[in-house]
Amino acid sequence: MRDALLGREVGDRDWVVVGSSVEEMLGLGFTQVGRDFPVFLHPENNEEYALARTERKQGSGHTGFTVHADADVTLEEDLKRRDLTINAIAEAANGELIDPYGGIADLGDRQLRHVSKAFSEDPLRILRVARFAAELPGFVVVDGTRALMRAMCDADALAELSAERVWQEFVRALGAPQPQRFFAVLEDCSGVRPWFVELADRDWHFSAGDALHRFASLPLGEPALEALSARVKVPKHFHEAARDWHLWGDTVASADAAPTVVLIEALHSLRAMHDTHRLEFVLEHASLTSGVDQRWLLAAVRELARVKPDANVAPGPAYGEAQRAARIEWLESARAGLQRQR
């Protein structure tokens, strides 16, 4: 409902069923999915329908809750367990808006406000608020919610989260309109640690591009990148893209002037003669971040892949060295021709 009221594109619809039970839903042909929450798939369109429910904190972390779902749970009780008031707005089948916690007013005032003190029971909500700040430019976290988040961080609540959930919020924030606000909100509530210690106390400026390009742009040396990737369980292609850029971005971005030996080393490290997708990413990232166009390299590596040493060189270590020398010679000649054309 939030996105519809903001005029943003609406993704999946979330249906809440009031006054029903698991048995009735199954009897109507719905299929239950998940064991912890009473969520069902519609028999015709596969949309998700959840029974109205309340939750009570029993254990630690994001999942340490017991759920009560029954016909006696009201919609207002269900909405009260939401994180922010702007996420606690419902629309009835007849189009009537149900807004018991002032979410519509907070949308108008551009405010991120927690629904109730139960907010503090789920540490993932700290990251969600920071992510919503990145997704909704102009929205501010109200003082009471900021204080609650700060108290949770002071109690080390974020340490209870799983790496997988942290990454989900992190990557969504990186793809948001203003990813720098994710870090600003976390800095404000002392929430950068323990998950993002390598990213503390930075002056954030993100380039254009998607979450992958922005992750690659994070100001990290290789040891810090390795530590962050291991802690947050960064997917392989994100980690590889960031590592390739940090190691070889400057070389590829200056490909028409970089020492040929170094450029050949970069192309071999990127395995560009076998598959150009890693090189293509670095070239695209160079274009996004500095406007440099070095796409001539793509045609060059296809030719380099065919360069062979003298036919008299026997297979073995000597052959590899001879091939490398032949490729260096070919690339120097190709670059000289390119410079003459310019």
User: What is the Cα 35 distance to its own chain's centre?
Assistant: 27
User: In this model, does residue 191 exceed pLDDT 90?
Assistant: yes
- Say whether pTM exceeds 0.75: yes
User: In this model, does residue 339 exceed pLDDT 70?
Assistant: no
User: In this model, does residue 55 exceed pLDDT 60?
Assistant: yes
Mean pLDDT over the full length of the chain: 90
User: In this model, does residue 9 exceed pLDDT 80?
Assistant: no
Share of the chain above pLDDT 90, in %: 66
CA distances in angstroms from 220 to 20, 75, 181, 245, 258, listed in the order given: 52, 46, 19, 11, 23
Residues 283 and 306: their CA atoms lie apart, in Å, by: 22
How would DSSP label each residue in 154-208? Answer: HTTGGGGS-HHHHHHHHHHHHTSS-THHHHHHHHHTT-STTTTGGGSS------S
pLDDT tens digits, one per residue of 288-336: 988 999 999 999 999 998 888 776 766 777 788 888 899 999 998 888 7
Give the pLDDT of residue 312. 73
Share of the chain above pLDDT 70, in %: 93
- Domain-wise residue ranges, the chain: 230-342
User: In this model, does residue 242 exceed pLDDT 90?
Assistant: yes
Of 45-49, 121-125, 209-213, minimum mean pLDDT range: 45-49
Is the bond into 194 cis (omega within 30 degrees of 0)? yes
In this structure, are residues 37 and 45 in contact, taking their beta carbons and an 8 Å threshold? Answer: no
Q: Which residue spans within the chain are E strands per DSSP? A: 15-17, 31-33, 39-41, 48-51, 53-57, 65-69, 90-91, 97-98, 111-112, 140-141
Q: How far apart are the first and last CA of the chain?
A: 55
Enter the DSSP assignment of 84.
Answer: B
